[in-house]
Amino acid sequence: MLGGPASVELASRVSKELKANLIIPELRVFSDGESKIRFPAVGGTCVIVQSTYPPTDTHLLQAMMIAKKCADDGAVEICAVVPYLAYARQDRPFLDGELATISLVANLLSAAGVKSVITVDMHSQLGMSLFSSVEISNVSSVPLLADHAKGMKLNDPIAVSPDAGGAQRVSDFAKRIGSDYLVLKKSRNRATGEVTVEDPDFDIKGRDAVLVDDIISSGGSIIAAAESLRRKGANRVYAMCAHALLLGDAAEKIAKAGVNDIVATNSIPNQYAKVDLSHVISDLLTVRYGKRSS
């Protein structure tokens, strides 16, 4: 098993679960921003753990560099565990002149020698379908997030999705914590990115609301949703997600909008990474490869 520079801690946790040998590639970053990767020769089945959060392109290229080195060393199988998979939201052209970039990412990983990808909460089924040259498996963080929520001592909780795209996710989450749920009506200006949310026609006064999403990046959707829930009288408001990018001052803006706390998985290492993915990733790797990974 190889722990990429972006995911050393998670790779360490997974390797301990599997009792697998862990190699941390030596990384050198030159003054012009180029990365150089170095590690001893490997073979057999290689599992690379590397999330591709910002700097996105750097982390993605590093993952491909590690994969190419494994392929050059004669690895029989190369699996890339990419908990946060960059460009997954670019699964179709939204405006004239755009492309479905995630398809390019799939082809680049394949060209580097990757045979299979394991990711967490892939943004859409459409995006997964574009991995025609690479086998892809998607792990849901909902059971883990729900288990964490059960220990939060919530008062008459209601699960909330910021938009219709997360309806199935919030339904599954609500079922696991034994609550009802809401799906808010959101609209986004594709040119400016501005988000608006309609206030729900539902009595939530005095209840704790849990916003459930796959990715929080700029925080626009969560902020608009939280402000709406506060207007309707929600007590405490929490945001839970698989991937907490929290770009710029997003966390501060989310707090100002009335969110009491943010809870995310450790797909991205930060102070909000309170839910560990190592066990579910290890389980999937065990099913697929046993304990033969290196």
Q: What is the DSSP string of 197-209?
A: EPPPSS--TT--E
pLDDT of residue 185: 84
Domain shared by 15 and 124, yes or no? yes
> What CATH code is carried by the domain that includes residue 221?
3.40.50.2020
The answer to whether the beta carbons of residues 251 and 124 sit under 8 Å apart is no
Tell me which residues are annotated as active site. Answer: 186
Percent of the chain with pLDDT over 90: 85
Is 294 inside a domain boundary? no
Amino acid letter at 76? V
Domain shared by 132 and 6, yes or no? yes
pLDDT of residue 192: 62
Domain shared by 77 and 163, yes or no? no
Name the domain count of the chain: 2
Domain shared by 6 and 124, yes or no? yes
pLDDT of residue 195: 77
For 182, the domain range is 142-274
Domain shared by 176 and 209, yes or no? yes
Domain shared by 148 and 74, yes or no? no
Domain shared by 147 and 100, yes or no? no
Question: What's the pLDDT tens digit per position in 51-90?
Answer: 999 999 999 999 999 999 999 999 999 999 999 999 999 9
Domain shared by 131 and 155, yes or no? no
Taking phi over 0 as left and psi of -120 to 50 as alpha, with beta for the rest, 181 belongs to beta
pLDDT of residue 105: 96
Give average pLDDT by consecutive 10-residue segment, the chain, 294 residues: 98 96 96 96 95 98 98 96 96 88 96 97 88 93 98 96 93 97 81 73 92 95 94 96 97 97 98 97 91 48
Domain shared by 264 and 218, yes or no? yes
Question: What's the pLDDT tens digit per position in 256-286?
Answer: 999 999 999 999 999 999 999 999 999 999 9
**CA-closest candidate to residue 64, choices 73, 74, 52:** 52
Domain shared by 133 and 229, yes or no? no
Domain shared by 284 and 253, yes or no? no
Q: Which residues touch 2 (CB under 8 Å, ≥6 apart)? A: 11, 22, 23, 24, 25, 39, 42, 46, 47, 48, 49, 66, 70
pLDDT of residue 150: 97
